[in-house]
Amino acid sequence: MCEAAAYILKPDGQEELFLSEVDVIEPDGDHLRLVSIFGEQKTIKASIHSLNLINHKVLLVEKTP
Amino acid sequence: MCEAAAYILKPDGQEELFLSEVDVIEPDGDHLRLVSIFGEQKTIKASIHSLNLINHKVLLVEKTP
């Protein structure tokens, strides 16, 4: 399988797991909707910072209000 | 392998292949740097629009100047 884990990249450089086994990430207004391979959905006011697909990792950065 | 193809999502909805077999996408100033599993690198003034990892697809949108 080719899913990835999505982490929130915090301003201090820490990475906080937001959703694992992610298949789809798509815009939903000014939010992102993430959908896991199990159909779990989460939204977050963030943008996609970077990807490392071989390491199955997606980094998100939260948008400031 | 878990790489994906990166396409530019055009304003008319068309998708134009930018780089295939992408491993890493990371910010480089106001550009993105894409690195393929073969080490090929390309940069583009764009942001990451959406992902569909099971379909091995990343969509980018170009930033207007």
Establish if B43 touches chain A: CB-CB under 8 angstroms: no
Domain count, chain B: 1
Grade residue A6 by pLDDT with cuts at 50, 70 and 90.
very high
Say yes or no to pLDDT of B1 above 80. Answer: no
Does residue A55 form part of some domain?
A: no
Residue A65: predicted pLDDT: 74
- Looking at the domain assignment, is residue A20 inside a domain? yes
Q: How far apart are CA B59 and CA A24, in angstroms?
A: 11
Place of tokens 């990166």: B6
DSSP H or E segment with residue B25: strand B15-28
Give the number of beta-carbon pairs within 8 Å between A and B.
63
pLDDT tens digit sequence for B9-30: 999 999 999 999 999 999 999 9
Distance (Å) from the C-alpha of residue A41 to the closest C-alpha of chain B?
A: 14
Q: Is A52 on the interface with B (CB under 8 A)?
A: yes
CB-based contact, A21 to chain B, within 8 Å: no
Count the residues in chain B.
Answer: 65
The confidence band for B2, taking pLDDT boundaries of 50, 70 and 90, is confident
> What is the model's pTM?
0.94
State which residues form the domain around A12.
1-42+61-65
- Rounded to the nearest angstrom, the minimum Cα separation between A65 and chain B is 19
